[in-house]
Amino acid sequence: MESNIRETASLLIVDDSKMSRTLIRNFITRIRPGWQVFEADNGSAALTFVRQRKPDFISMDVNMPGTSGLEAAEALVGEKADVRIVMMTANTQEATKNNAGRLKVGFCGKPVVGTVVQKMVYYFENGEMPPEAAAEDPLGVGAAPAAAGTLLHSPPAAPAAAEPVSASAAAANALNVASQSAAAARGAAEKSGEGSNA
């Protein structure tokens, strides 16, 4: 199986979860380092971004505050936007899958792990989901870029144009750093607690 590799492209990641956006960004940075990656934290911000910047691809969560991912995708399809969209969501109900099919966009169920991101990239590059036989390694890159749930290194600071589209980007970034620090502290505390309970 051969993928139509796109060495350069622009991808907009739309998800209200900073963790999901970071995971997708990190996987993409590893398997398609030539791609420009942008972020938006809701469907409304995504619509504004797409109308101004016209990315090649969009990874779109479904359940977000305000304009949902399905509403945003439907608007873009209605506008005949020249962009390939994959719904990347934990909402794997049949109705959601059927809506993605009706809109003729790709569908990948979370969690955000290497094989799922590879399936999304395959769709972006080929216009169809990979065959079932290739489910474990859709891009033929060997082992998945990282284990499930692994938060890879933070990507280098992006230029101003690549900042999240939301108005509260700086606050969200500070909150993300604080959340990661708190999570690391909780993990260390739990680990030391496990040792005393053994």
How far apart are the C-alpha atoms of 39 and 139, rounded to whole Å? 23
pTM, two decimals, is: 0.70
Q: Which two tokens stand for residue 138?
A: 């859709």
SS3 assignment, position 175: helix
**Per-10-residue mean pLDDT for the chain, 198 residues long?**
81 97 96 97 96 96 95 94 94 94 95 94 93 73 46 37 42 41 45 44
Output the CA torsion 18→84→55→145 (10° steps). 50
CA 21 to chain centre: 5
H or E stretch covering 168: none
